[in-house]
C-alpha cells in the first residue's frame, strides 16, 4: 500500500491488516507512556483545504504518538488563499521533505491527483475529499463495530453483520467510504434516507435502501446503526430544500429511545460527529450505553496510527 485514497481500492486482507494493527495501537494507548518511537525522523504534513478540527487533531495526535514531526498547513490565510495551485503547494511540501501528506480537500479527487501526479514523493492519505471518500473514518467505524460485534476479532472481518447508515447519503463521503469497506469485510449495508438524499446511480451499489427508519428496523435485524450528520442549513427552505422541515426529518429518520429499544439488544449506535442532538439523534440515544460515539473518537487515533505505521514504517520502495 503506497497511498490511502479510498476504500474501494482496499482488499479484504489490507483492510484486516489495518484493523489488526489498529488494535495493537489501541492497546499501546492504555499505557502510562503512550508515545512510541516508531516514526522518529518522519514528517507528516496535514494539508487542509477545508476546516475540520476533529479530523486534523486526530491525525495530529496519531502522528505525534508515533514520534513523527507534524506540520499543519491550513489553506485559510496561507499561500493557497493567495491563489497558489495544488501543484505548487505539492512542490513546496516536497521541498520541505514531507514523508506523508494528509489531505482534506473540498474537491472530490484532489488527493488522487496529488498521489498520481509526479509532484512529490510522499505518501498521500485522503482525509476527506468533496462528496467522494473519507477512508480513515470508514476504517474507524469498521474497527469500532468489529470490536463490539465480533468475538475474538483479531484477523477477522465483519462477516454476516448488518449495518444501517441513516441520513444524508447524497452528500456523504462517510457513507460512500463505508459502503465499500463494510461490503469488502463481509457485512451487509442498509441505507435509510429520504428519496431526495439518495444519490443517482445507487442501483449499482451493494445496498438495500429504505425511506423510513421504522421500516428499516422492522425489515432487518440491524447489528449497528450509523447516524449521519444533517447539515441543517443546507437542508430546508428555499427552492433547494431536500426535506420539508427538520421536525419531519426527525420524525421519520431520527433515532430516539423508542426506536433504539426496537433494535436487537446487542446493536450499537455510531455517529461520525459532530452530532445535532434533537435532529438526527436524540440525547437519550446519544448518551445511552449502546452508543459508542465517544469511543469512535479514541479509535480514530488508533486507526490513523495504524495507517501511518503501515505507510511510513517499511522500507522505501522505488515506486
Partner 1 sequence: MTGTLLGAPDISRALTRIAHEILERNDGADSVVLLGIPTRGLPLAERIARKISEVEDGFDASARCGALDITMYRDDLHKQPIRSIGTTSVPSVGIDDQVVVLVDDVLHTGRTIRAALDAIKDLGRPRAVQLAVLVDRGHRELPIRADFVGKNLPTSRSERVDVHLTEIEGEDAVILTNGRGGDDA
Size of the site for partner 1 (CB under 8 A): 21
For residues 41 to 70, the per-residue mask of contacts with partner 1, x marking binding by CB under 8 A and - elsewhere, is: -------------------------x----
The minimum distance between CB 13 and partner 1, in angstroms, equals 11
Place of cell 482488499: 11
Among 9, 20, 74, 170, binds partner 1 (CB under 8 A): 20
The minimum distance between CB 314 and partner 1, in angstroms, equals 4
- Residue 72 interacting with partner 1 (CB under 8 A): no
> Which residues neighbour 99 within 8 Å (Cβ) at sequence distance 6 or greater?
42, 43, 44, 68, 122, 123, 312
For residues 12 and 113, give the distance between their C-alpha atoms in angstroms, rounded to a whole number: 25
Instruction: Determine contact, residues 268/158, Cβ cutoff 8 Å.
Output: no
The minimum distance between CB 164 and partner 1, in angstroms, equals 32
- Residue 29 interacting with partner 1 (CB under 8 A): no
For residues 209 and 129, give the distance between their C-alpha atoms in angstroms, rounded to a whole number: 24
The minimum distance between CB 140 and partner 1, in angstroms, equals 18
For residues 142 and 16, give the distance between their C-alpha atoms in angstroms, rounded to a whole number: 10
Instruction: Determine contact, residues 249/280, Cβ cutoff 8 Å.
Output: yes
Interface with partner 1 by CB under 8 A: which range of 20-28, 217-225, 235-243, 279-287? 20-28
HEC per residue, 30-68:
CCCCCCCCCCCCCEEEEEECCCCHHHHHHHHHHHHHCCC
Interface with partner 1 by CB under 8 A: which range of 52-60, 70-78, 268-276, 305-313? 305-313
The minimum distance between CB 57 and partner 1, in angstroms, equals 22
Interface with partner 1 (CB under 8 A): 17, 20-21, 24-25, 27-28, 31-33, 35-38, 66, 309-310, 313-316
Amino acid at each position: 500500500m503506497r497511498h490511502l485514497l479510498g476504500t474501494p481500492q482496499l482488499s479484504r486482507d489490507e483492510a484486516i491488516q489495518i484493523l489488526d494493527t489498529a488494535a495493537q495501537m489501541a492497546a499501546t494507548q492504555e499505557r502510562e507512556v503512550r508515545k512510541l518511537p516508531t516514526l522518529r525522523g518522519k514528517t507528516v504534513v496535514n494539508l487542509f483545504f477545508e476546516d475540520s478540527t476533529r479530523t486534523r487533531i486526530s491525525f495530529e495526535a496519531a502522528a505525534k504518538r508515533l514520534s513523527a514531526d507534524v506540520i499543519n498547513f491550513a489553506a485559510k490565510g496561507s499561500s493557497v488563499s493567495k491563489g497558489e495551485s495544488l501543484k505548487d503547494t505539492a512542490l513546496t511540501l516536497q521541498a520541505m521533505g514531507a514523508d506523508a501528506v494528509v489531505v482534506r480537500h473540498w474537491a472530490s479527487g484532489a488527493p488522487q491527483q496529488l498521489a498520481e501526479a509526479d509532484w512529490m514523493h510522499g505518501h498521500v492519505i485522503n482525509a476527506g475529499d468533496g462528496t467522494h471518500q473519507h477512508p480513515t473514518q470508514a476504517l474507524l467505524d469498521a474497527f469500532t463495530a468489529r470490536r463490539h460485534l465480533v468475538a475474538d476479532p483479531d484477523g477477522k472481518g465483519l462477516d454476516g453483520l448488518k449495518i444501517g447508515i441513516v441520513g444524508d447519503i447524497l452528500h456523504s463521503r462517510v457513507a460512500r467510504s463505508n459502503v465499500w469497506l463494510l461490503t469488502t469485510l463481509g457485512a451487509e449495508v442498509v441505507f435509510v434516507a429520504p428519496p431526495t438524499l439518495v444519490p443517482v446511480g445507487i442501483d449499482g451499489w451493494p445496498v438495500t435502501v429504505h425511506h423510513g427508519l421504522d421500516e428499516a428496523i422492522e425489515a432487518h435485524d440491524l447489528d449497528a446503526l450509523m447516524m449521519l450528520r444533517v447539515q441543517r442549513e443546507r437542508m430546508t427552505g428555499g427552492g433547494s430544500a431536500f426535506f420539508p422541515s427538520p421536525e419531519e426529518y426527525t420524525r421519520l429518520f431520527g433515532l430516539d429511545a423508542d426506536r433504539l429499544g426496537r433494535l436487537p439488544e446487542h446493536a450499537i449506535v455510531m455517529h461520525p460527529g459532530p452530532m445535532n442532538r434533537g435532529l438526527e439523534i436524540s440525547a437519550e440515544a446519544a448518551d445511552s450505553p449502546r452508543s459508542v460515539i465517544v469511543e469512535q473518537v479514541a479509535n480514530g487515533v488508533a486507526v490513523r496510527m495504524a495507517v501511518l505505521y503501515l505507510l511510513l514504517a517499511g522500507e522505501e520502495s522505488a515506486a
